Amino acid sequence: MKKKLLIGTSFLAGMVFVSLVLFVLIILLGNYVIDDKKLVMDTTTKIVDEEGNIITRLFIENREKISLAVVPVHVQEAFVAVEDTRFYNHQGIDIRAIARALYRDIVAGAKVEGGSTITQQLAKNVFLTNDKTWLRKTKEVLIAMNLERRYSKNELLEMYLNRIYFGHEAYGIQAAASLYFNKGVNELTVEQGALLAGMVKAPNAYSPINHPDKSKQRRDVVLGAMEKRGNLTAEQVKRYRGRTLSIDVNRFTEEKSYLTYIDMVIDEAQLRYQFSNEELLTGGYTIVIPMKQSLQEHSYSLIRDNEYFPVDNQDAEAAFVLMDIESGGVLAAQGGRDYVRRGINRVNVKRQPGSVFKPLAVFAPALEEGAFHPYSLLRDERLDYAGYSPRNYNDTYAGEVTLYDAITHSLNAPTVWLLNEIGIDRSIKQLEGFELAIPDRGLALGLGGLQEGVTPLEMTKAYRAFAHEGKMIEPYFITAIYDQQGKWMAGVNQEEKEVISLQTAWNMTRMLEAVVQEGTGKSGNIDIPLAGKTGTTSYTGVKGGAKDAWFVGYTPSVVGAVWMGYDTTTSEQFLSGGSSYPTVLFKDILNGDQAIKREVSFQKPDGVDELSPPVRMTKIDDLTATLSMGGKGLMSVKLTWTGMNDTRVHYNVYEVYKGERQQLATVVGDHQFIVPRPNPFLTKTYEVVPYDSTTRRAGEASNQADVSFRFGFH
């Protein structure tokens, strides 16, 4: 008896020891396999505009994590009913489910039912492969049991619902609800929750998009499982099964017009804020951007329209960028007419700027020097500068022109003359202020003939100084970045830098307005205030051919640039038209934006002098000289003419006798003059010469008027 008792005790002790060893082994092996970092799920990053509208999603797995608290109870019950009905009662494995599955497999002679719990499925999806070995199954059980020790049932169900695949690149129940029903998971109805729960077994086979009949059949199976578990009554199940398969597919498609901008957002996140590409694709961030969707889409439509290109250049490329003047936020960007992700982004490609460079390299620094003003006279002649002899585009020269007119009509000869006067070093210093690193040191840089060129984004950034009180600001594509919990992680912190005086900026704005109103930038139509500059670079390989065509301009609220040309210019591939094409394109892009179209005028800043319009003297051809009684003597001669209502125009009055002229007076603010006590026996004539006091330049002499007699008294 004692021997039997001893054997029994020993056996019991052995069983306890083996159990303890197995328990410790389960814990150790499970803990060894579990890596908490793997439980951190890849989550979709959203890019949204400043109103919260989703622009695009960045992901490896399209997943938006949600809390179990927002998942309706009836949706939770659907998944538990069909996937693991005893989920809340077991410790990771369900012995009864395994036995039932094993029995049915034996009866069927093949594997027809799985016995995996929700926790086992989570373990397999996170930590293991899909191989069918006993070792893998053993690890699955061990990990599942340890997961049950570490986490609550609600935590496990939340991880499961966020991780499972629902087909069509949707991971997690929130992405699935959005894809199939265009709603949040919190809005899912009973039958919709049942449909999603039914897909877990085979997401592609039960896809309501590709296989609606099978999907409905599977949904009805889940509803039956919910009835069996006590979640629904028979009457409810009958009603829900009678409902049609109603889906509202919200399949995510990438908007082609956004591709350039999205790439520039990714670049900025990496370069300015040091986010890796993997972080962006898996971190579940919310990136807020300043893009204006209407402008982005409208500019994409127009830049692809052949009507905006020369007839012979329907295959030419183009780039466009537009920035908010106040903030520096980029509102729209197009890197090409058929831009592809991570392709050639022409917003950042350096090109020869031509005459759009003149205001930056020549005119602004000349005004800053103080020796020149908008109505200073520049030499307009074809001169030779040690072998460099620039010519005007029409090869005609006036001898002298104002700085104002040199900008307005984009004259090359006076521009280079002015650059030579102020010096290359002064120009380079100013360009460095505009943050343009130019290696060139020749006079050709004044006409935009550069070794490396500049980008449309650089030109936009530099012209902002003209548009906004002489100050530059850094363009940005990201307003802010938030993590999954909504915590601010990074974002723009702008600082302005003064590069030219307020007075110079205002004078440049007025002169660049004239470019659009009466100069080289008048092509096309626009009803809002616009200042800007055109530019065309010649292709010497073909007479009349061009390499690059530009327009850079701004309104009171936005500044931007358009470039046109070929990536590589050859004798078979060159522009047959110039800057009028990008000018029209730029204007029509702005014409499509209602907010911009409401702008009224540029507002003169306080503390600056207004730049009056230029004096445009016209020839006087109606001078009359009338002899009459009275005046300052017995007789007098009254001279009258039609003049300008501009006190800046003075009138020099001359008396002509025997071929010699004698100035009698200078008249200001009037169009008549009384010659006192004339000698009626001497034949004298008179003429008037207008004089521009701003340029100190005389105009063309009037007609010579003979004296006629008129009765009467003054």
Q: Which candidate, 683, 679, 682, 687, places its Cα nearest to that of 704?
A: 687
Angle at 194 between CA 191 and CA 200, to 5 degrees: 150
Q: How far is CA 676 from CA 491, 633, 642, 713, in A?
A: 78, 6, 21, 13
Residue pair 476/57 in contact by the 8 Å Cβ criterion: no
How far is 448 from 361, CA to CA, in rounded Å?
8
User: Closest by alpha carbon to 553, among 294, 362, 336, 323?
Assistant: 323
Q: Name the residue among 580, 553, 540 with its Cα closest to residue 564.
A: 580
178 is catalytic: no
CA distance 512 to 526: 15
What three-state secondary structure class fits 63?
Answer: strand
Query: Shortest CA distance to 312 belongs to which of 575, 123, 508, 530?
Result: 575
Q: Where are the alpha helices (DSSP H) in 522-681?
A: 580-591, 594-597
CA distance 49 to 35: 37
The strand pair at 286-289 and 45-49 is best described as parallel
The Cα–Cα gap between 562 and 544 comes to 21
Asked if 484 and 43 touch (Cβ cutoff 8 Å), the reply is: yes
User: Is 10 one of the annotated active-site residues of the chain?
Assistant: no
Choose among 527, 594, 520, 574: nearest CA to 551: 520
Query: CA-CA distance, 569 to 561, in Å (whole number)?
Result: 21
The neighbouring-strand residues paired with 662 are 655
Two tokens, residue 667: 């008249």
Question: Considering just the CA atoms, what is the radius of gyration of the chain in Å?
Answer: 41
In the numeric block, the tokens 């008027």 are attached to 705
Helices of type H across 437-579 = 456-467, 502-518
Tell me phi and psi for residue 208, to 5 degrees.
-70, -15
- Coarse DSSP helix, strand, coil percentages of the chain, rounded to the nearest 5 percent: 40, 20, 40
Contacts of 421 (CB under 8 A, 6+ apart): 366, 372
The span from the CA of 317 to the CA of 319, in Å, is 7
Of the candidates 116, 215, 257, 355, the residue annotated as catalytic is 355
From 64, 77, 83, 191, the catalytic residue: 83
Distance CA 480, CA 287 (A): 6
Q: What is the DSSP letter of 110?
A: S
Q: Where are the beta strands (DSSP E) in 591-648?
A: 624-629, 635-640
Run of H or E residues at 565: strand 558-565
Dmax (CA) for the chain in angstroms is 171
H/E stretch holding 265: helix 259-271
Catalytic residue positions, numbered: 83, 355
